[in-house]
Amino acid sequence: MLALVSPALLVILALIVLPVGWLAWQSIYHDGFTLENYRRIFTEDIYWRSFALTFEISLAVTVIALLLGYPVAYLANSVPKGWSILILALVVLPFWTSVLVRAYAWLALLQRTGVINQLLRYLDVISEPLALVHNTFGTVVATVHILLPFMVLPLYATMQKIPGDLMQAGASLGASPSLTFMRVFLPLSLPGVLAGCTMVFVLCLGFYITPELLGGGRTVMVSMLVSRNVELYNQFGAASAVAVVLLLSVLLIFAAVSRFISLDRILGQK
Amino acid sequence: MTKRHFRYGYAVLGGSLGLLATAGIAAAAEQITFVSQGGAYQQAQTVAILDPSAKKLGITINQDSIPDAWPAIKTQVGSGKPIWDVVDTPTGYCLRGGEQGLIEKLDFSKIPNAAAMPETYRSPYSVSYEFYSSVLAYSQKTFPKDAPNSWVDFWDVKKFPGRRALRNHPIATLEAALMADGVAPDKLYPLDVDRAFKKLEEIKPSITVWWTSGAQSAQLLNDGEVDMEMAWNGRVSAVAKEGAKVSFTYNQGILQSTSLCILKGAPNLDTAVKFLNEAVDPVHQANLPLNIDYGPGNPKAFDTGVIKPERAAQLPSEPANAAKQALMSYAWWSSPAGEAAEKRWASFMQK
């Protein structure tokens, strides 16, 4: 058995464990041990503000993705097989387009002379173009779009495992459809909600392209501080330290969530 | 420990590049590896400067390209075995590299072409190679006449209403702010950083986008997303050539350059010095702007007769255009005060 998995383990060791270890090492070692890079993160308020903004954006994206994704997953779960495949295909389709292309597509839609503003002006809904992009709003819209599949798929997988008989049982006991949903379906789908939310939140923490292209320069997320620090301090340690703190926050979130549901449920869909 | 990891990485990279290099050498005894930023820009240099220089000197010039050479310079020299010889990179990196012992100090007695250039066009470690400019660009749709013509105009949101963009970087932006506050282009350095940031706070609410890439600045102007912005002259003229109603002024532009410098311990040091002299030869230099919208690094290029007067008038480093602009001091930007100003930028952006 060990012989069979060892190539895979070696690949993981070479491609993940070693680079991450080297990253962490650099953040504390530069011509001798130093905690300077960490001192900077915890004393200069730009880091604090970026971490706060990153968590705010991630939270907003997660909530919006849940509100949009839950009905989609519910619909895919309740229609006949053929239709549900079509719905899931539509959810997954954008997956095959590069994130960069999708970010630029949103730029074409949202900017001052973009499709949405032109249409609203044509319909006389607005007289001045709305500021839909080059701010946090544009960043959140595009990020939700990109991360939506990570919400819908775990939700759908969980809903699939809720036996349909339970709804019928609820109905036979005289409960209205909305009551059965609230009392039976929703609680049973909660593990999927937690799994989807964790995936979306954690992925969003490290987002770079959407805030960089659609944030107008003002939306400085943590990933952007990483690239800025490489430029500014001429050594990788300053950037590694930011990455390490971000990685630790992600691990903390996983640790907290795993108290409620098992991790392979989030990652492996058992 | 750190160094050892780097060395393994470069052993692999160096090996593969070495193979490429050997494949390229036929009989030439002397060779160098030259690195620039790729794309249309490196192509233009190949035609104007690199191929003619190789022919004249009878050497082989192996080319490589990288968008940002700085990290590679650090790791290559840090490994003790650099594989590059000459690098074309923003002048600030040559200076910073020189101070950190990553770049060779130049002996100008061996580089007569550079020795003949004005002193502000070279440093102990580098020679100006080409010029570009951070200019005030505007939409001619928004401003068919009475266009903004100075940073004072750019800051005047009452007289010149419209959406604005600046670069999300302190370099050139602080200079523009100080000129908007009345500092003369030739009296900018050392920059009064506090005054510059104070002036930037003033315009900040009117800035729609802080752009990060040249492509983005071009797109903003082209799509009418902003009415005026700071942009690099080559980006604006490229958009104008494609038919967009945009223009720019060299008045109060900030004249910036990339320079040639040689890596410390370069494998072909002597040939690299010979090449450096040839690369800033006035005639080769004069051929560069015939292939791309950048000005020659050697001002003597304008005396060769190669550049027609109407073409010269479009170039950032043409003497009359240069006289209207501020010449960026890379020495100031790589000084501790400059580095501190750069660090202050992020916190300015977040507030």
The string of pLDDT tens digits covering residues A31-69 is: 889 899 999 899 988 999 999 999 999 999 999 999 999
Q: Is the pLDDT of residue A16 over 70?
A: yes
B-chain residues within 8 Å CB-CB of A216? 208-210
Query: CB–CB of B209 and A216 under 8 A?
Result: yes
Q: Find, among B320, B292, B164, the residue nearest to B230 by Cα.
A: B164
Query: Is there a contact between A22 and B5 if contact means CB atoms under 8 Å apart?
Result: yes
Cα–Cα dist A146/A153, whole Å: 13
CA distance A187 to chain B (A): 41
Encode burial over B313-327: b for 16+ CB neighbours within 10 A, e otherwise: eebbbbeebbeebbb
Please give the pLDDT value at position B8: 37
For residue B39, how many other CB atoms are within 10 A of its CB?
11
CB pairs under 8 A between A and B: 55
**What local confidence, expressed as pLDDT, does residue B198 receive?**
98
> A173-177, A233-237, B160-164, B258-262: lowest mean pLDDT where?
A233-237
What distance in Å separates residue B74's CA from the closest CA in chain A?
A: 9
pLDDT of residue B203: 97
pLDDT digits (tens, 9 = 90+) for A106-115: 999 999 989 9
A183-225 pLDDT tens trace: 999 999 999 999 999 999 999 999 999 999 999 988 999 999 9
Give the minimum alpha-carbon distance from A74 to chain B in angstroms, rounded to a whole number. Answer: 40
For B167, the closest chain A residue by CA position comes to A217
* Cα-to-chain-centroid distance, residue B87: 12
Give the separation between CA B252 and CA B321, rounded to whole angstroms: 10
The whole-angstrom distance between A37's CA and the closest CA on chain B is 14
Contact A221, A211 (CB under 8 A): yes
Q: What is the pTM of this model?
A: 0.84
| Residue A262, pLDDT score | 74
Write the DSSP string, B85-148: -EEEEEHHHHHHHHHTT-BPPP-GGG-HHHHTS-GGGEETTEEEEEEEEEEEEEETTT-SSS--
**Chain B residues near residue A220 by CB distance under 8 angstroms:** 346, 349-350
Q: Is the pLDDT of residue A244 over 70?
A: yes
Q: Give dist(CA B200, CA B350) in Å, integer.
A: 13
Q: Is the pLDDT of residue A88 over 60?
A: yes
At residue A265, the pLDDT reads: 66
The pLDDT value recorded for residue B211 is 94
Please return the burial class of A254, using the count of CB atoms within 10 Å of its CB with bins 0-12, 13-18 and 19+. Answer: middle
pLDDT for position B118:
92
Collect all residues with Cβ–Cβ distance below 8 Å to A89 and sequence separation of at least 6: none
Residue A97 has pLDDT above 90, yes or no: no
Q: What is the pLDDT along chain B (351 residues), one digit of tens a residue?
A: 333 333 333 444 444 444 444 444 444 479 999 999 888 889 999 999 999 999 999 999 999 998 888 888 988 998 899 999 999 999 999 999 999 899 999 999 999 999 999 998 999 999 999 999 999 999 999 999 999 999 999 999 999 999 999 999 999 999 999 999 999 999 999 999 999 999 999 999 999 999 988 888 999 999 999 999 999 999 999 999 999 999 999 999 999 999 999 999 999 999 999 999 999 999 999 999 999 999 999 999 999 999 999 999 999 999 999 999 999 999 999 899 999 999 999 889 887
- Backbone phi, psi, residue B307, to 5°: -90, 120
CB–CB of A230 and B71 under 8 A? yes
Mean pLDDT of chain B: 90
